[in-house]
Amino acid sequence: MKPIAFRRHALALLLAALALTLPARAEDVIYPAGSRVGLVPPPGLSAAASFPGFEDRAKGVALLIGALPTDAYAQFERSDSAEGLKKLGVTLDRRETLTLPTGKALLVVGHQNKIATWMLIAATPDLTAMVTLRIADSAKDTYPDNVIRTAFESLAVRPEVPVAEQLGLLPFKVGALADFKIGAVLPGRGVVLTDPTDPGGREIAPHIVVSMMPGQPPDSGDRDAFAREVFRSIPNLKDARVVSSESLRLGGQQGHEIQATAKDPSTGADLTLVQWLRFGGGAYLNLVGIARTDAWTPAYSRFRLVRDGID
């Protein structure tokens, strides 16, 4: 081999060796859609279609990622892992305390029949991350313990989930946020859009809930009764009273609008709200906008922007 070619070959081998010894980079971490918690999954696992995590169906391996409230870690730390696993039919093999870049963590490993269960519970400043891996004994040669530990130790938490990613979990498109922020997302079902509030305050902020629900009135003449029944299911209202109820077209489809007043059960503040139902295809789109009565006019205009931007 010529000297120059040899140097190039040696450099390539050196870079490859370094790549094997370097820790996982932040850009290698994969976050399940809508999750702030992610990690570098073991080679062979791919994104799961039916749960937040990764899987290798052919070999019987599933890795589930979730997030719990901050104080959940302390509860796990005080708990008896053996007893907790026993209730699930799993026998405890070992429990370890780890130190990760995100903070302290617990690693619990157990087994049930021919399936091993690994659980990582990790403390972070604003949530408790939980990773659960179930692996068939027949897959241990493909996914040995050191590979699993490396994946767990790559745990990372991002500051927030991008807005577009959160909205991508919905069964409809939200074309206009109208200066609202995403308060919560229920994947496959709906979203809460709200104004930021003072954490210590009790006043209700303008917000709109948009959700897709199964069912619709059996007859066009039953829409008013159907809409009123849906309205009565709205929680956390006191002295609710329907002011108007009428049919209308929304987004080119049959719909219904109810406007009402109520009181905030926590503060007694006067509230005004609107409910829009949009029917079609054996389901209906349900939008409920609520604001204090003294802030209703600007809030209602924004609610309409959200409503008209739904596709």
Please give the share of the chain, as a percent, with pLDDT higher than 70. Answer: 89
Q: What is the pLDDT of residue 18?
A: 35
The two three-digit tokens of residue 289, written as one number: 């906008």
Q: Which residue shows structure tokens 């996982």?
A: 24
CATH number of 24-157: 3.40.1000.10
pLDDT exceeds 90 at position 197:
no
Q: In the prediction, which pLDDT does 84 show?
A: 75
Write the CA distances from 57 to 79, 139, 145, 168, integer angstroms.
32, 11, 19, 25
Averaged pLDDT score across all residues of the chain:
87
Work out the average pLDDT over 197-216: 81
Helix (H/G/I), strand (E/B), else coil: 260: strand
Using the CB atoms, write b or e for 152-169: b if 16+ within 10 Å. bbbbbbeeebeeeebbee
Domain 163-308, CATH 3.40.1000.10 — does that match? yes
| pLDDT (0 to 100) of residue 4 | 44
User: Strands, E, within 48-177: which ranges?
Assistant: 53-56, 61-68, 91-100, 103-112, 115-123, 128-136, 156-157
Amino acid 5: pLDDT: 45
Question: What average pLDDT does this structure show over 88-94?
Answer: 83
Q: Is pLDDT at 225 greater than 50 in this prediction?
A: yes
* Angle value at C-alpha 265, between 214 and 242, nearest 5 degrees: 55
Q: What is the mean pLDDT of residues 192-210?
A: 80
Given a contact cutoff of 8 angstroms between Cβ atoms, the answer to whether 56 and 45 are in contact is yes
- Mean pLDDT for 204-218 is 91
Sign of CA dihedral 216, 218, 219, 221: negative
Q: In this structure, are strands 181-186 and 190-194 parallel, antiparallel, or unpaired? A: antiparallel
Check residue 266 and give its pLDDT. 86
Distance in angstroms (rounded) separating the CA atoms of residues 128 and 64: 14
Which residue, among 184, 245, 180, 169, has the nearest Cα to 206 in the 3D structure? 180
Query: For residues 191 and 88, which has the higher predicted lDDT (pLDDT)?
Result: 191
d(CA 53, CA 237): 37
In the chain, CATH 3.40.1000.10 covers 24-157, 163-308
pLDDT in the model for residue 13:
40
CA distance 40 to 81: 26
- With a cut of 50, say whether residue 19 has pLDDT above it: no
Position 16 pLDDT exceeds 90: no
Residue 283: exposed, middle, or buried by beta-carbon count in 10 A (0-12, 13-18, 19+)? middle
pLDDT at 201: 57
Residues linked to residue 211 through DSSP beta bridges, in sequence order? 190, 286
Tell me what pLDDT residue 7 has: 43
Phi, psi at residue 300, to the nearest 5°? -60, -40
Confidence category of residue 37, pLDDT binned at 50, 70, 90: very high
Cα–Cα distance measured from residue 243 to residue 249, given in angstroms and rounded to the nearest whole number: 19
Cβ contact 62:44 at 8 Å: no
